[in-house]
Chains A and B, each alone.
Chain A
Amino acid sequence: AQSVTQPDIHITVSEGASLELRCNYSYGATPYLFWYVQSPGQGLQLLLKYFSGDTLVQGIKGFEAEFKRSQSSFNLRKPSVHWSDAAEYFCAVGPHGSSNTGKLIFGQGTTLQVKP
């Protein structure tokens, strides 16, 4: 079955420190991969996405993610975290096929806390 795992439920980093959020997926082929961010009481905002090609993708707000097929991973990184990055982050898979249009499978999310 298709699934997404975010091993870290909660992460705390100091402002200015680097960040890596982990995401592993289970899927028969290379899926469409996404990272979303959700601030309290808000909807989800797309940070970046991967479909094919260069395995290092750049997103908004200084985030990047690297696709590693051998590890079935799509980890999100940021070199220097700002206090405004505190939020919940979701990794998602978009399955292929006409029967899966409009459908995203989400991980459980990682809550990021930023210490001053």
Chain B
Amino acid sequence: KAGVTQTPRYLIKTRGQQVTLSCSPISGHRSVSWYQQTPGQGLQFLFEYFSETQRNKGNFPGRFSGRQFSNSRSEMNVSTLELGDSALYLCASSLGARWENTEAFFGQGTRLTVV
């Protein structure tokens, strides 16, 4: 079956702009989580959506937001981009159940560069 698909793979944006990243989960998966990966901070949890509702949120400013559609596809948005937002953004999909009954499958990520 198809894996987690993230688009686009690469993005270059200017400071102050906004950006939208997309994630299509594995068919049947209702949970989508987003992570930011940087050399300095490593992998950090942004938020998780399940059945169009945000269930969990990491410690990021309000400039980072997301949503999930009825088909479980998810988007994340970053407004007023800063240089420090340059990162690999990873999306993970799962069944959304307890961890003993599911696992997270990751997409290849979107590499965002802010100039």
- How far, in whole Å, are A36 and B43 apart by their CA atoms in the complex? 12
Q: Interface residue tally of chain A, by bracket?
A: 20 to 34
Count residues of chain B with CB under 8 A from any CB of chain A. Answer: 28
Closest partner residue, chain B, to A107 (CB atom): B42
Closest partner residue, chain B, to A98 (CB atom): B55
Given known contacts A42-B108, A43-B90, A46-B103, A102 and B31 CB-to-CB distance under 8 angstroms: yes
Q: CB-CB < 8 A to B55: which residues of A?
A: 98, 101-102
Question: Does A19 touch B at the CB level, under 8 Å?
Answer: no
Chain B interfacial positions (CB closer than 8 Å to A): 4, 31-33, 35, 42-45, 48, 50, 55-56, 58, 90, 92, 94, 96, 98-100, 103-109
A-B contact sample (13 more), CB < 8 A, given A43-B109, A102-B56: A32-B100, A34-B103, A43-B106, A51-B100, A94-B99, A101-B31, A101-B96, A102-B94, A103-B45, A104-B35, A104-B43, A104-B45, A104-B104
